[in-house]
Amino acid sequence: MYAIPNVMNKVLPLLAVIDGNVADNVTSIGENQTAIGENQTAIGENVTAIEGIITVIEGMGFVSRGDPSSYDRDKDDFSIDNAWHSWDISGIIGENAALVILGIQLNNSSVLAAVQFRENGNSQSVNVRKQKLQETNKAEVHSLIVEADAAGVIEYKFDNVGTWAYLNVAVLGWLLI
């Protein structure tokens, strides 16, 4: 005869271990499903946030001026006297443009020469965009970003030092608010 009880003594504990592992695995799977659900919710919230940011950016709308054939102003169109002056660019950018990108071309006989731009109505020196000449009597091209007020006006200040061979400014583009 076969010793069946000895086999059963070995099989029954093995079945208990398997049953325990299955129960643990089912619990683990349930926990993982909960975690996956929570991650899917977080991903959904992140997607919603990103879509909101994209909507804001699209609502702001960057407007490129394209390929202008000339500068909007040159040295003869500006007051060059170390004082702040208003420049109404609303005819170019309209109203409610938040940031304006300016292209500037400079050439002066003094390395101390600088051009400055700021939002119309500002009086402090912190939020001023300034470009100093790097070399004398050499053409330099720079870009500056300046805030325009709601009416489309910015301010400028040009140093009255040396001789300006040229001082040209063009509006290259802007962001709408």
pLDDT tens for 19-60 read 666 666 667 677 767 767 776 676 667 667 666 665 665 556
Question: How many CA atoms within 13 Å lie on the side-chain side of 23?
Answer: 6
pLDDT at 177 over 80: no
In SS3 terms, 81-109 reads as CCCCEEEECHHHHCCCEEEEEEEEEEEEC
Q: Say what the alpha-carbon torsion angle 58, 59, 65, 66 is, to the nearest 10 degrees.
A: 30
What tokens were used for 122?
A: 């500002």
CATH architecture of 62-176: Sandwich (2.60)
d(CA 21, CA 36): 22
In this structure, which amino acid lies at residue 3?
A: A
What tokens were used for 4?
A: 């069946």
Query: What does the pLDDT read at residue 41?
Result: 72
Domain boundaries, the chain: 1-60, 62-176
Residue with tokens 């939020």: 127
Residue with tokens 């499903």: 33
Query: What does the pLDDT read at residue 176?
Result: 85
What tokens were used for 147?
A: 């805030």
d(CA 67, CA 48): 36
Q: Dump pLDDT digits (tens) for 64-123.
A: 998 889 999 999 999 999 999 999 999 999 888 889 999 999 999 999 999 999 999 999
Query: What does the pLDDT read at residue 31?
Result: 72
Query: What does the pLDDT read at residue 89?
Result: 96
Beta bridge mates, 63: 174
Contact in structure between 15 and 8 (CB atoms under 8 Å): no
Query: What does the pLDDT read at residue 23?
Result: 66
d(CA 128, CA 125): 6
Q: Which residues contact 114 (CB under 8 A, 6 or more apart)?
A: 130, 131, 132, 133, 158, 159
Residue 112 DSSP label: T
Residue 153 DSSP label: E
